Structures are given as structure tokens and as C-alpha cells.
Amino acid sequence: MAREESPWTLEDLIEFEQALSHSAVPTSEEKQLVSASIAGKSPESARPIGLKTWLDGRRSGIGRKFTLALDGVSLGLFLLALSAGITTVLGLYRWNGINVTIFVAVVLGVQIAILIGASVAWLFRRKAGEAYSVVQSIIGILARRLTGDRESVWWHSLITQGGGGRRALLWRLALVVQTAGIAFNLGAIAALVGLVLFRNVGFFWETTTESAMRGWLEQSVNIIAAPWSWIDPASAPDARLIDATRWWPEKSAALSPGPAAWWRFLLWALVVWGLLPRLILRFLCQWNEGRSLAALDFQSRHHRTLWRELTGGELREEIAKRPTDGALVIDVGGAGFSREVLRPFLLQKLRVNPTAWETTGVLDPEREAAARNALTDAPAAIVLLVEGWALSPRQVESLLAKVSGLKEDRRVILLIGNAEPNGAMRPAEEEERANWKRFVDGLAGSEVELVFYEGGAR
């Protein structure tokens, strides 16, 4: 019975990398479970489902520990940032008043500057989701220390291998940062509302210059209030109010409460320019984390090695049950493999019928051109015959790149063996097999079938 597909989570991913670091040798029982779980699945969906089936029997609990620890760090940062927001606003309350220019610069200006700086740095990254900030690093260190996992092999694996796993982890850490940003703004809003409700707060601004600060303040107010001024015009201080609230040294009277336009302006500014961007960024972090997890292809070398170990036997059984496909056979390097000698093996073991036979990798322009033309019109399968000792990564990768540009659902088989004088094939040496396995496991995104010649058909 096929396993019902369920999405991968960050917790699953951590458990998976931890399990891989301890032992990736699958048992026969695990192979059977994986085989049952991927029955009838497409190649794209089979790998995530099969690997999660394998993972279910090897969970150590480290994924759950880390996510809980990260939640604890997030809560601690939330409370710390909330207190910081409250303290910052209360610290600006002096002599029964708040200097609006300092308030905007300290409470909002610093936040906006940080967001702009982070955005610019983000744009200069080739892969924005893989940006790794100092703050994210510190959060990760704190969470890992809380789990008691000193080695953190899974962390090193996710961070260094790149791809969707790294992006998912970093988006989760970024989400913690944005949650703290939300808390800071909530604290600032709460403090401002509390002062307005329970204290006589006057709002003012002051400067040594005659007109420079006044002009800058009016322009800044108009820009900041633009998003909401059409909804609440009274919360956008005009030129008359700005002039009226300037503090002059010769004033001896205490500040009177208000005017209301200033505290409404500051409250709107905190919501629109402080809280709202953080809420949007937090949503984007959560969305991008989910998207990164959904796009996991498990194409890293160690992922492909495990998948080959899990499905190798099943693949051979599946091939044996297939109807015979027409195939283009390409002798890579011109080793001189005989069509007549290998035909029984191709038919019975690989279930392909060699309808065309070409040669490439030789100093013969006509034969090279014939091979290129044959690739364009290739039937359902392509078999690349390569000698075990003649591993040439560039040549094989070039051929596979050409094949990948052809129609989909085409079997691509790498048949590895060494040539005999009569055109037959003998099995490759163990060292040659190991080299080819490492090479194929490193071909991210390729579903090539690696087959080692084991003798003639019976």
C-alpha cells in the first residue's frame, strides 16, 4: 500500500540529516517499506516520500528538540524586544513631553535604516534565501546550546550543502528575527498609548537652525503620513501645527498636553512603518520556508547515494518487468563494443532493444555528427556504453546535458564495463565501480540509471 504523501517540515529535515550522519546503510526491511511507499508514484514525488519512509524508523528526536529550543529562543527575544520597545519610548519622555524628531529618528529611523541596509545586502546576493546574517548565527548557536547537541552534525550539513535545506533553515531563523521586530513595535505602541492615556504629554520639536530643520520636518511628516493621511487627515500635522509646536528657549511655561495630531501621527507611523513591515516580512519568511521545504529535491551527493542504496534492487526488479523499449546505444570513446555480442544482455537485463548504434568521443567528424543527429531522433531509451577505466566527467556530463534537453520520460542508462578484443564486455574493477558511483551520485538533478555489467544474459 502506497504511503500517503505528507509535506516535509524543518523538524523532519534536521532528523534526516542527523540520521544520515550516523548510518546511511539501509536494511532489507527498510528497502521493502520504501518500495511499498513509492509504488505508483512519479519519479519527482517518489524520492521525498521514500526518504521520509526511511526516516520514520531512524528518528532520534533532535529535530523536535531544536525546534522547541528555537521556539524558546524566539519567546525570549520577543519578551526582550517588547521590553526594549517600551523602555525606548519611556526613555524619550522628558519634562512632560516627547521630542517628535528624536522619537521618529530613534524609534522608526533606526528600524527603517536596518531594513534598507538588509534589503540592499539581500539584493546583492545571488541567492537571497541563502544569506546568512550574524543575528541568524547567534540565534542558531543559542538554540543548539539549549538542545545540548554539541556536535550539531546536521547543522553543518544543512549550512554547507546549500540548496533548499539551507534556505528553509535560514528562513526559520529570519522568522525569529522578524518576530522580535514585531515585539519591539508592539512595545513602543503600548508605551505611547499608555503615556497618552495616563500622563499629560506634550509634543514638541526644537532646533538651533532657523529654517533647515523646519523644512526637513514638514517634508518628512508629509512623506511618512502619505499612506494614511487620506483616511485620517487630522493625524498629519500641517505647517501651522509644526510652527506652533516648536520649542523656544524663552518659553518658561510647562508643555501643555497634545496636540492630538502629533500623538496620532506617531501612533500611525509606528503601525504603518514599524509594525506592518515586520508582519509582512514575517509572513514572507514563513511562506518562503514552506516553499523551500516543498521544493526539496534531495539531489546532494549523500542524498543520491542513500536513494541509490534504497532503490537499487527495486529498480532492477522493475526493469525486469518492463516491456522492451527501443534504444539508441552510444559507444562513448569508441571502445569497439559489439552490437551482436551485447544485444542479448541489453534485451534481457536492461529491457531495451538496440535499434540504433552510434559512436562518439572519437576523432571522426562524420561519426560525431551521426551521433548528434541520432540523439535528436532517439527512441524511448538511450544507453551510453563507457569503459570502467575511462571515466571522463566532462565528456559524460556533456552527453547527459544534451540528453536532458530532449523530450521527457526517456530512460538514460550508463552501462559500465571494460572492452574485450572480440567486442564483448567484462565487469569493471571494484575501484572503477566506486569512482563511477561517486560521479553519478554527484550529478544533481539527473535520474540516470547506473548499471554495471555483470556478465552475459542467461
Matching CATH number, 322-452, of 1.10.150, 3.30.1370, 3.40.50, 1.10.600: 3.40.50
pLDDT at residue 431, as a whole number: 87
Q: pLDDT at residue 130 above 70? A: no
> Structural domain boundaries of the chain?
62-294, 322-452
> Residue 392: CB partners within 8 Å, gap ≥ 6?
333, 361
Helix (H, G, I), strand (E, B) or coil at 385: strand
Residues 297 and 165 sit within 8 Å (Cβ to Cβ):
no
pLDDT at residue 211, as a whole number: 77
Q: pLDDT at residue 117 above 90? A: no
| pLDDT tens-digit map of 162-203 | 788 999 999 999 999 999 999 999 999 999 999 999 998 999
Average pLDDT, the chain: 83
- Per the DSSP assignment, residues forming a β-bridge with 124 are none
Give pTM, 2 decimals: 0.76
Q: What is the DSSP string of 170-217?
A: HHHHHHHHHHHHHHHHHHHHHHHHHHHHHS--EEEB--SSSSHHHHHH
pLDDT at residue 272, as a whole number: 95
Supply φ then ψ for residue 14, to 5 degrees.
Answer: -65, -45
80 — pLDDT class (breaks 50, 70, 90): very high
| pLDDT tens-digit map of 17-43 | 999 887 667 888 888 888 888 887 776
Supply φ then ψ for residue 2, to 5 degrees.
Answer: -70, 145
Q: Say how far apart CA 139 and CA 155 lie, in whole Å.
A: 13
Q: Categorise residue 166: left if φ over 0, alpha if ψ from -120 to 50, beta otherwise.
A: alpha
| pLDDT tens-digit map of 378-427 | 667 888 888 888 777 777 777 777 766 655 566 788 888 888 888 888 88
Q: How many other CB atoms sit within 10 Å of the CB of residue 221?
A: 23
Q: Which residue has the higher pLDDT, 347 or 405?
A: 347
Residues 187 and 84 sit within 8 Å (Cβ to Cβ):
yes
pLDDT at residue 320, as a whole number: 46
Per cent of the chain over pLDDT 70 is 86
Distance of CA 349 to the CA centre of its chain: 40
Q: pLDDT at residue 132 above 70? A: no
